[in-house]
Amino acid sequence: MIKENESKKDYLEWLDRGLSKVPKTESRDRLNVPSVECINEKNKTIIQNLNQIADILNRDPKHILKYITLRLATSYSEIGEGRYILKGRILDKQLDSVISDYIKAYVECPVCKRPDTKLSKEKRNIIQLVCLSCGAVSPVKSL
Ligand SMILES: [Zn+2]
pLDDT tens digits for range 63-89? 999 999 999 999 999 998 889 999 999
DSSP lists the bridge partners of residue 85 as: 46, 77
| Mean of the per-residue pLDDT values of the chain | 87
CATH number of the CATH domain containing 100: 3.30.70.3150
Q: How far is the CA of 138 from the centre of ligand 1 (A)?
A: 9
Give the chain's domain count.
Answer: 2
Q: pTM, whole model, 2 decimals?
A: 0.78
Q: How far is the CA of 1 from the centre of ligand 1 (A)?
A: 24
State pLDDT tens for residues 98-131. 999 999 999 999 999 999 999 997 777 889 999 9
Are residue 92 and residue 123 in the same domain, yes or no? no
Q: How far is the CA of 137 from the centre of ligand 1 (A)?
A: 8
Are residue 100 and residue 117 in the same domain, yes or no? no
User: Quick one: pLDDT at residue 31?
Assistant: 86
pLDDT class of 29 with cuts at 50, 70, 90: confident
Judged against a pLDDT cut of 70, whether residue 12 lies above it is answered with: no
pLDDT class of 2 with cuts at 50, 70, 90: low
Are residue 96 and residue 117 in the same domain, yes or no? no
Are residue 80 and residue 46 in the same domain, yes or no? yes
What Cα–Cα distance (Å) separates residue 30 from each residue in 24, 65, 107, 131, 134? 16, 22, 11, 13, 14
Q: HSE (CB half, 13 Å, CA atoms) of 118?
A: 4
Are residue 66 and residue 88 in the same domain, yes or no? yes
Are residue 24 and residue 63 in the same domain, yes or no? no
Q: How far is the CA of 117 from the centre of ligand 1 (A)?
A: 8
Q: How far is the CA of 35 from the centre of ligand 1 (A)?
A: 25
CA–CA distance, 8 with 17 (Å, rounded to integer): 14
Are residue 77 and residue 123 in the same domain, yes or no? no
Are residue 101 and residue 114 in the same domain, yes or no? no
Are residue 44 and residue 102 in the same domain, yes or no? yes
User: Quick one: pLDDT at residue 121?
Assistant: 77
Q: How far is the CA of 135 from the centre of ligand 1 (A)?
A: 6
Cβ-defined contacts of 81-87 (< 8 Å, 24+) = 82/48, 82/49, 82/50, 82/51, 82/52, 83/46, 83/47, 83/48, 83/50, 84/46, 84/47, 84/50, 85/44, 85/45, 85/46, 85/47, 86/44, 86/45, 86/46, 86/47, 87/43, 87/44
Are residue 121 and residue 85 in the same domain, yes or no? no
Q: How far is the CA of 102 from the centre of ligand 1 (A)?
A: 17
Q: How far is the CA of 61 from the centre of ligand 1 (A)?
A: 22
Structural domain that includes position 116: 2-29+110-141
Are residue 72 and residue 125 in the same domain, yes or no? no
Are residue 94 and residue 115 in the same domain, yes or no? no
Q: How far is the CA of 94 from the centre of ligand 1 (A)?
A: 28
Judged against a pLDDT cut of 60, whether residue 26 lies above it is answered with: no
